[in-house]
Amino acid sequence: MKCDEVRLQLLDYQEGRLRLEAQSAVRAHLDGCPDCTRADVIERDLTQLLEHRLPQHPASLALKRRLAAQWSEPIVQRGTGRGRGDLRGGAPRLLRAHGIAGVA
């Protein structure tokens, strides 16, 4: 398994959503790749920050409607997979979407 494939699957791997063979392949790659192991740690830290450390507030009805309208539009993805993948461009957009400012 190549690094770009592993990085796209890190979130699913961490949350146990991969099939057994894919999970084993990701684990084997992480065992031998220091760069992807670092990306795995960063992914875990980001998930921890977003899910557990930040205050959670209910979304307004207006926000829910805007998001529903955006989700009904086709999504153009740079890669394949459901993970966060390359966070250089996506993290700022993700944080803005969640109303988080000033997080470095």
Residues 3-43 have pLDDT tens digits of 999 999 999 999 999 999 999 999 999 999 999 999 999 99
pLDDT confidence of residue 96:
53
d(CA 18, CA 31): 17
pLDDT confidence of residue 98:
53
For residues 82-90, average pLDDT:
48
Averaged pLDDT of the chain: 79
> Which pLDDT band holds residue 52 (cuts at 50, 70, 90)?
confident
For 81, how many CA atoms within 13 A lie in the half-sphere containing its CB? 18
CA trace torsion 17, 19, 25, 30 (10° rounding) = 10
Instruction: Check whether 65 has a pLDDT greater than 70.
Output: yes
d(CA 1, CA 30): 10
pLDDT confidence of residue 55:
78
